[in-house]
Amino acid sequence: MLTLDLDLGLLVLVMTSTRPFRKILIANRGEIACRIIWTCKEMGIRTVAVHSDVDRDSLHVRFADESACIGPAPSAQSYLNIPAIISAAEIFNVDAIHPGYGFLAESAYFAEICEACNIKFIGPRPGVIQLMGDKVEARRTMKAAGVPITPGSPGALDSEEEAIKIAREIGFPVIVKASAGGGGRGMRIVRSEAELGHALETASTEAAAAFKNGDVYIERFVERPRHIEIQVLADEHGDCVHLGERECSIQRRHQKLLEESPSPVMTPELRQEMGEVAVAACKAIGYSSAGTFEFLLDEDNRFYFMEMNTRIQVEHPVTEMVTLTDIVRNQIRIAEGDPLGFGQDDVIMVGHAIECRINAESPDTFTPSPGLITTFNLPGGPGVRLDTYVYPGYRVPPFYDSMIAKVIVHARTRELAIARMRRALDAMVIEGIKTTIPLHLKIMDDPDFQAGNISTRFMEEFLSRNGFREKSVGTASAALTGASG
């Protein structure tokens, strides 16, 4: 890059090569759109925000260099509206699109269209997105790459007989899952052979209704698993590293509430083993950009591949804090064609980080609480990071995700991090809407949480310990979590 200060007192001449991005369009909203803008600003990259009409006053629109309204409130007509987004990208002449998470982030179709329009999609190639998006294919591919997968059917089940045979091999309890599914739907736990036939039928029907695909498969069901995920970064030249793990077991209805890094049960040996498996798998499928391998860890610390997310994740900040990296920055550099520039030996993990997702919901009933924020006091001080898109006077719309902020703390030890999170949440005052801050404060005080005794059953047990009575949600999730009602 050549910069001439011409001493005419008036002008600055800037010449750049075309490979680094000058301008990125962010095909998303909310806190992740802001997050991407922050890094773009640091890199001197101009940003274009697209938004629905109700998001006109949203923070990402305010801070982007340019913006355009692309449709009305419903996501299908705005944030999922591919022609509108591409049209905006062409008008603003952007070099690349960052899809964030959710929305079109894992749409192989969208990635292909970007490619066809000569706009760089910041993420892996469409073929890889497609592959990992099909859960059955992903399992098969991972197994072939030497990744341990939960014992189960090799693919979608053809018959009840096949299911019975496999269940006998792997042992009850088993779980029936939708091939095209996620989020707890199309799932049934089966504890005995007698229940299997019925469970297969209902799961398949539910899957067909929710995902237009009634294919199901079965896996061994681990009673008290931990959800441990490995963050990877791969460039487009075949190099790949992992950035350690995140513990994400604290979930309610398959939505994560709280995440941390490192995991309280992780050992350096296990981390190395899981990390190496993830990196080898990335290389086997030709992965590039940021990605996350989700594993189940059973009570004997054996890990099994669950799925891979071919995008940046909500909880990426805890990894950034302990590894001192900027994942968005790396995604952008990788998309520009830069080599990774560092190896596994350069990756460090320092201290302990915890993230609490703050939702605009009642902390007692979890009912959504959109509306006008009248007071908003941010916590600050040592080791506190806040990723948000709201501000005093902002009206939280009812059309989208209820998450309004992520509070992330970093400290030397887990104990200090918990204390830090407690005082940060105490100082975080949001009025005008209800938020789940009180819930997180209770979790910080919970003895099991403090001891690191957590599994994916934690939230359900915590809620019943603390007198929450949840409305019945439908048989699938109830069966999964054992909640009555």
Using CB under 8 A, list all residues that contact another protein. Answer: 6, 8, 10-18, 22, 34, 38, 41, 46, 49, 53, 59, 61-72, 78, 83-84, 86-88, 90-93, 117, 376, 378, 386, 388-392
Report d(CA 225, CA 222) in Å as an integer.
6
For strand 226-234 and strand 289-297, is the pairing parallel, antiparallel, or unpaired? Answer: antiparallel
Report d(CA 237, CA 199) in Å as an integer.
45
Are 27 and 78 spatial neighbours (Cβ–Cβ below 8 Å)?
no
Which tokens sit at 228?
């441990």
Closer by beta carbon to another protein, 37 or else 128? 37
Are 318 and 354 spatial neighbours (Cβ–Cβ below 8 Å)?
yes
The torsion angle over the Cα atoms of residues 60, 64, 68 and 70, rounded to 10 degrees, is -40
- Closest CB 45 distance from another protein, rounded Å: 13
The torsion angle over the Cα atoms of residues 310, 315, 317 and 323, rounded to 10 degrees, is -70
Closer by beta carbon to another protein, 67 or else 455? 67
Closer by beta carbon to another protein, 78 or else 456? 78
Closer by beta carbon to another protein, 53 or else 193? 53
The 10 Å CB-count burial string (b at 16+, else e) for 378-399 is: ebeeebbbbbbbbeeebebbee
Report d(CA 324, CA 482) in Å as an integer.
39
Cα 346 from chain centre: 25
Q: Is 298 helix (H, G, I), strand (E, B) or coil?
A: coil
Neighbours of 2 (CB within 10 A): 8
Which tokens sit at 430?
């949001």
Report d(CA 194, CA 172) in Å as an integer.
11
- Closest CB 288 distance from another protein, rounded Å: 23
- Closest CB 13 distance from another protein, rounded Å: 6
Amino acid of residue 321: M
Are 373 and 430 spatial neighbours (Cβ–Cβ below 8 Å)?
yes
Q: Phi, psi at residue 451, to the nearest 5°? A: -80, -5
Closer by beta carbon to another protein, 205 or else 377? 377
Q: Phi, psi at residue 164, to the nearest 5°? A: -65, -45
Whether 311 is catalytic: yes
From 29, 311, 333, 420, active-site residue:
311
Picking from 336, 337, 432, 419, the residue whose alpha carbon sits closest to that of residue 391 is 432
Report d(CA 148, CA 230) in Å as an integer.
14
Which tokens sit at 455?
């599994």
Query: Which residues have a catalytic role annotated?
Result: 311
